[in-house]
Amino acid sequence: MSALKASPAVFQILDENGVKTANFSCPSPDVLLKMYQGMKKIRLLDEKMMGLQRQGRIGFYGPSFGEEAAVIGSAQPLDSKDWIFPALRQGGALLYRGFPLEQFICQIFGNTGDLHKGHQMPCHFSSKSFHHVAWSSCIATQLPHAVGAGYASKYLKKNLVMMAYLGDGATSTSDFHAAMNFAGVYQAPVVFFCQNNQWAISVPFEKQTSSPTLAVKASAYGVPGIRVDGNDCLACYQASKEAVQKARNGMGPTFIEAVTFRMGPHTTSDDPKLYRDETLVIEWEKKDPILRMRKFLENEKLWDQTMEEKIEQNITQEIQDAIHQAESLSIPGLETLFEDTYSEKPWNLVEQEAALK
């Protein structure tokens, strides 16, 4: 069954009980288990990081509670040579591709183990070797970057695909319009993966647009727009797989609206109880993407309680060890404020550095 058919209906493979509702050729058991473990790792890491922030050990964090299926399902079809242009909640995709957990946590601490030397906000990850580009807190600025990189890949015949992530709030921006229009006109090899978690911080979906869906907006740019169940990891995987193959084969961009829900706060600086009815959270907890995937694996005889306990123990220990290592490192030196901008420091920076010291 092809996911790439424009429709207001939501493409789904697994229902809330983990039962297949569509004909689907599953990935290998190894891939299924890898995706599930990737989702569990995000959840356990988010819980730990939220705790660290409340304890004052880190300053800021943006969790992905309830959106793990969208992150992992969309990342799995990418080749290692493809590039990710993330938004706030796709750090898990970087980990899934093999980025070291200790360096990931060091970025949140902003210490000497951080590749950015503390120059970026927490959760603004990037890695040249893992083809993950830093994003800006200014909404949707990563989208024109992804399209430009995609066009460059096409022009240079590199055969690379760009995965451009965004939230529902980003579809209200001028950068979204510019990126979609350029991608449609020049058939850039880009997959726009929108995690529609129903909230642009405190603004609900119905106050963001009068369009019945976000996917329908893609048609104005000549781009196929599809909707998938964002809490169904296999549906996100299948839709992304087809979109990636389409882009790699020179057939242009796709816009995927993954319908999900942000079960936690926007960030540690946010209190959703001030603007959101918590009964919504209770309803969406019944659609928990991790629980759904686990039920499916259990139905397929690929998972059991013993394996669940073991993987939780292993991931928790891995996180604890990485935190211990990160907290043993010092903050970057003052001299790093003046590095990595110019190949040779101009006179004014030399003077400023001397004055600071």
Residues near 27 by Cβ (< 8 Å), separated by ≥ 6?
Answer: 35, 76, 237
DSSP state of 249: T
> In this structure, are residues 153 and 189 in contact, taking their beta carbons and an 8 Å threshold?
yes
Please tell me the distance from the alpha carbon of residue 96 to that of residue 116, in angstroms, as a whole number.
20
H-helix or E-strand spanning residue 143? helix 142-155
Give catalytic status of residue 54 as yes or no: no
Q: Which residues pair with 258 in a beta bridge?
A: 195, 228
Give catalytic status of residue 275 as yes or no: yes
In angstroms, the Cα distances linking 196 to 69, 83, 199, 216, 307 are 13, 21, 8, 13, 32
H-helix or E-strand spanning residue 53? helix 29-54
Please tell me the distance from the alpha carbon of residue 197 to that of residue 182, in angstroms, as a whole number.
26
Question: Both tokens of residue 325?
Answer: 């290592």
What order of strands is seen across the sheet that includes strand 190-196? 83-85, 162-167, 190-196, 254-259, 225-229
Which of 262, 276, 292, 294 is labelled catalytic? 262
Which of 266, 292, 324, 342 is labelled catalytic? 266
Give catalytic status of residue 145 as yes or no: no
Which of 275, 276, 294, 342 is labelled catalytic? 275
3-state secondary structure at position 221: helix
Query: What is the Cα 275 distance to its own chain's centre?
Result: 24
| φ/ψ (deg, to 5) at 28 | -65, 155
The catalytic residue positions are 262, 266, 275
